């Protein structure tokens, strides 16, 4: 199984979710674009949170110095992100692929994460987080994926629960509910293991 982990925006919890699913599936992990935090990347974060020793961490295609939208960070670094440079890592294992930012985040002056998702051509797991405006952001993300015939495996809710919002999103989109991750004060291997047990075999 290979999945893209995409969020409805930034700071949604994609890396934490990716850690849990990597642990649950004992999967490989790949972050195609890392923008900023090069001293402790999202790959490093996942590595620090999982316990399985079966995971291979595949190198990023682009490592950008500034914590900005990929197209802006690339411009500062004097490079241009090219869609042709991205290829799914060769592996016989399951694979978790974590996007940088939301669905329509630009990669260059022509293409967005949506184009990268289409190129990679594997199912998307959408991560949503409850905040004022998140229903709108979630529905728009789902609509743009559906309009482009992207296979959406389902949705994961992360953070403080809001039953009214979550029920509306699920009823409206008809997406499979893959699980929820509560707000956690401390993120460590034990927390990841706890959720990995819940997600293991739960439609993933």
Answer whether residue 29 is part of any domain: yes
pLDDT for 96: 98
What mean pLDDT value characterizes the chain?
Answer: 96
pLDDT for 201: 72
pLDDT in tens, 116-163: 999 999 999 999 999 999 999 999 999 999 999 999 999 999 999 999
Answer whether residue 177 is part of any domain: yes
Answer whether residue 9 is part of any domain: yes
- Report the CATH number at residue 142: 3.40.50.300
Catalytic residue among 14, 31, 129, 153: 31
Domains: count for the chain: 1
Report how far residue 15's alpha carbon sits from residue 31's, in angstroms, rounded to the nearest whole number.
9
The answer to whether residue 203 scores a pLDDT higher than 80 is no
pTM assigned to the model: 0.96
Percent of the chain as helix, strand, coil, to the nearest 5: 35, 20, 40
Catalytic annotation present for 31: yes
Q: Which residues contact 152 (CB under 8 A, 6 or more apart)?
A: 123, 124, 125, 126, 142, 145, 146, 175
Answer whether residue 11 is part of any domain: yes
pLDDT in tens, 32-84: 999 999 999 999 999 999 999 999 999 999 999 999 999 999 999 999 999 99
- Which domain does 147 fall in, by range? 2-199
Answer whether residue 204 is part of any domain: no
pLDDT bracket for residue 10 (50, 70, 90): confident
pLDDT for 195: 95
* Residue 30, CA distances (Å) to 54, 88, 89, 104, 133 in order: 14, 9, 8, 20, 29
pLDDT for 11: 87
Report how far residue 144's alpha carbon sits from residue 189's, in angstroms, rounded to the nearest whole number.
34
What H or E segment, with its residue span, contains residue 33?
strand 33-35
């Amino acid at each position: 199984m290979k999945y893209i982990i995409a969020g409805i925006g930034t700071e949604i919890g994609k890396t934490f979710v990716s850690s849990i699913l990597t642990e649950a599936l004992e999967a490989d992990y790949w972050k195609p674009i890392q923008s900023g935090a090069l001293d402790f990347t999202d790959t490093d974060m996942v590595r620090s949170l999982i316990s399985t020793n079966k995971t291979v961490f595949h190198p990023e295609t682009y490592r950008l110095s500034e914590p900005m939208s990929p197209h802006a960070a690339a411009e500062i670094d004097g490079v241009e992100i090219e869609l042709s440079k991205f290829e799914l890592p060769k592996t016989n294992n399951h694979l978790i692929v974590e996007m940088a930012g939301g669905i329509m985040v630009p990669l260059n002056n022509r293409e967005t994460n949506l184009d990268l998702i289409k190129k990679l051509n594997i199912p998307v797991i959408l991560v949503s987080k409850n905040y004022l405006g998140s229903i709108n952001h979630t529905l728009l993300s789902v609509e743009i994926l559906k309009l482009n015939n992207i296979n959406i495996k389902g949705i994961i809710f992360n953070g403080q629960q809001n039953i009214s919002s979550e029920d509306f999103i699920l009823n409206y989109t008809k997406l499979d509910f893959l699980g929820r991750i509560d707000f956690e004060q401390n993120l460590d291997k034990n927390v990841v293991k706890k959720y990995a047990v819940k997600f293991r075999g739960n439609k993933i």
